[in-house]
Structure 1
């Protein structure tokens, strides 16, 4: 066992610890040598600061912030998550045909509890600012647990928003209440960072803690290197400044394909081109494989007058992503937060003027998607195809973080003002933080192996040198018609 459950006492939390089969108590043992402390409660400072060498789930500051409705909703809004306060008039509560309570632990929803409303409601606010629904006749009062076989679009969306809300607040677990409007949009109504435990919740959280501890144990014993892949997107632009759909030249599948954008009304178009190189454990080899897919794309797109654009939002309404795939390692919150702080935040320093326009709808912190092969893709980054130097730097930094994330403990993005700076692209505000983060990276034992790719990226970051989102990146990569006879070198 690698985890310890630190709690403030109580029958149900002790029952949960027993069911999880892990060590627990109201104080952390002095000689406890393991890795992670799960904090179930708020503790006095001297207990809170014990064993700072351990990773902690559920930091005290995140709990306090989630318990303050104003601070909670402010941070959720920064992350693009809709709340009651950001949606409705101050003195009213909208009608929700469905409400859900969703327990979440470590990036996973554990169950769905549903409450259907069969009549309109009116509402008012309590003195403490928490919305209080005035239930009218015909409304089912209680929440009922529903099976996964009853999953609908709204349920899946509510579960996804619950996981996002817990992560955005800097939490690792909790119970989230989500309301579904008649329009189908979801609002986060409440977050309980210290949920009142029932026997069923004890069972759900105990199983989740067991899974977490088992995965953690396997990850700490892992010896094989992380496999990296990617599927960065780009846009085709005519000389007249018009977008030309990639679907005119490319199929949906294959090493070079087209990708979709979903418009209002769930209408799908296929304007984006996407490169899908062979994965590799070596980021430099992955960059070579990426160059090979560019050559394939050049053969498939015969119109050389079309510019190939990358970045985040080279043209309004066309957001681009630079997703990086990871496999052979455990998808976990520690890894995601390391990628956010040590990759996404530094990369912001060289983004173009329009890159940040994709956020927060796209490019949100901690954005991930599990993959069928067992790995996951990190979806926060914009398309980093702008040059070979940026691409090699980004992929090498991703590889370094993946191998050493356990040692990367600094998390400036836990602070609301730093998150706000990230989403609005305020480079000056985070400049000093980036220097501290990079010092952590340079102390890692694997840094020297990747230094040839990382140092040029660092120099660009220090200069806050923005890329040009309207530049044709074929020129930097020597793709036809730009000096096609020269080979790409890494």
Structure 2
């Protein structure tokens, strides 16, 4: 598919942009190259819909293969009760359309019924609509695209599946206006996308679980309230919703990674006063218990969320962390820990949810938070596009350390070239030494030992 050039101009009007990125056939250009951007802006920021990513959609077989790697279900066009058409630009749903519900017998071959498409109001937030929009964004991201039209099928049992992803959809006037406005806004954001480190505020809610020395799972809800600086996560154990096994640390946000680690430590000290038994182990990582995956969620605010930022975090944080991950952690993915996993937050920022719980050690915690702030602040200058390759995505989900080793080293070397790297050089160098040491963390080990939290046993 042909790519289109768009002259970088923050003052361009809608007609100027439309003339450059809408084809004579009234379709959206499958790929857009921004010409004339500031020299500090790296290629990933200057390209919308990388041609290699567009190639992932050129055949249904390729598309389904890629989505399957991410754990995303697909279906053909005959097996659905109704469908949604979602117009997406990066993390934003621009427009939502829906076919009228079809009777089950229509899905079994009857073709003479009306299948009218209606517009769904942007304000509609029913559970089905929210699930559909979330899945559509995830599918677009998984394919390496920045914009496109995603068709989502609603099947029997309220199951969702991707029918198609089109990077160059046919446009009606409403769609054209929405996409052109989104492109204009993106162009206007570029000069301000890279920010000073202290513009990026960090928060976190890493999880851990507790296990008795006899192997029995210890419920967090026995010791901690639902809310608070140290509380239990909403997930429950078995049929009893009151039994919650996961502990969350929720420190106050700050612009200083070191201070955030100090606040995390204070939270852990609070927790030790509630759980003082030495025969209860505290476990972190990805999957120390086969039923309960753990996350090391990082909250960012002070910056604009987009796919380019998420892909930078995936490349420069998620991929290198695979090198030290306990092998059992592979089972967390792709249901959890999938690439580009994010959640908008009420404060206007977002939560990056891909990483496992990095409470394994102070070295890992300090390094991950410092690297997260560095990447978030300077991502427009970073060049990696490795994850457009489905084989690299597969290596991440399968924990193929050997396949990712050289890539991770190269990615980290690029981070060291950023002038801001020196701000947290001690933390980042220590993290790099750990990541490339050839060792792996042990998720069965009490992490209180590495944090020197009382009481602990070696």
TM-score for both structures, normalised by structure 1: 0.83
Which digits, 9 at most, give the CA deviation of each residue in 1:423-465, with x for residues without a partner?
0000001111112111101111011221211122212222231
CA contact under 8 A between 1:8 and 1:40: conserved in structure 2? no
Q: Are 1:117 and 2:102 counterparts?
A: yes
Partner of 2:9: none
- Pairing 1:74–2:74 present: no
Query: For 2:295, which of 301, 313, 321 is the aligned residue?
Result: 321
Instruction: Quickly say closer, same or farther: Cα 1:232–1:327, change in 2 above 3 A.
Output: same
Deviation at 1:253, TM superposition (A): 1.1
Q: Which residue of 2 aligns with 1:284?
A: 258
Retained in 1: the 8 A contact 2:217–2:245?
Answer: yes
Give 2:444's aligned residue.
470
- Structure 2 CA distance for partners of 1:119 and 1:314, relative to 1, 3 Å: closer
Higher relative contact order (CA 8 A, sep 6+): 2
2:25 alignment partner in structure 1: none
* TM-aligned CA deviation for residue 278 of structure 1: 2.0
Cα separation, partners in 2 of 1:221 and 1:411, compared to 1, 3 Å: closer
* Structure 2 residue runs without a partner (length 5+): 7-11, 23-27, 34-40
Alpha-carbon distance in structure 2 between the residues aligned to 1:161 and 1:348: 25
User: Are 2:220 and 1:235 equivalent residues in the alignment?
Assistant: no
- For 1:333-344, list aligned pairs within 5 A: 333-344=307-318
- 2:427 & 2:277 partners in 1: Cα distance? 33
Matched position secondary structure for 1:25: helix
Q: Conserved in 2, the CA contact under 8 Å of 1:257 and 1:273?
A: yes
**Match for residue 274 of structure 1?**
248
Task: Provide the residue aligned with 1:32 in structure 2.
Answer: none
Partners of 1:79 and 1:364 within 8 A in 2: yes
* Alignment correspondent of 2:159: 185
In the alignment, what sits opposite 1:387?
361
What are the equivalent positions in structure 2 for 1:237-316 lying under 5 Å apart? 237-261=211-235, 270-316=244-290
For the residue of structure 2 that corresponds to 1:67, the secondary structure is coil
Picking from 5, 14, 20, the partner of 1:19 is 14
Structure 1 match to 2:48: 57
- Greater CA drift, 158-167 or 58-67: 58-67
Q: Distance in 2 between matches of 1:263 and 1:185?
A: 24
Matched with 1:430 is 404
- The size of the alignment, in residue pairs, is 439
1:225 CA displacement: 2.2
2:54 is the counterpart of 1:105: no
Alpha carbons 1:119, 1:136 under 8 Å: kept: no
CA contact (8 A) 1:20 1:209 kept: no
Q: 1:114 to 1:269 in 2, by over 3 A?
A: farther
Alignment of 1:203-214 (within 5 A): 203-214=177-188
Match of 1:7 among 4, 26, 30: 4
Matches within 5 A, 1:221-232: 224-232=198-206
Deviation for aligned residue 1:185: 1.2
Cα distance in 2, alignment partners of residues 263 and 172 from structure 1: 38
Aligned to 1:30: none
Distance 2:17 2:340 in 1: 28
How far did residue 303 of structure 1 move? Answer: 3.5
Residue in structure 2 matching 1:461, options 421, 429, 435: 435
Contact 2:345 2:351 in 1 (8 A): yes
Point out where structure 1 has 5 or more consecutive residues left out of the alignment.
1-5, 10-16, 28-38, 45-50, 86-91, 124-133, 484-490
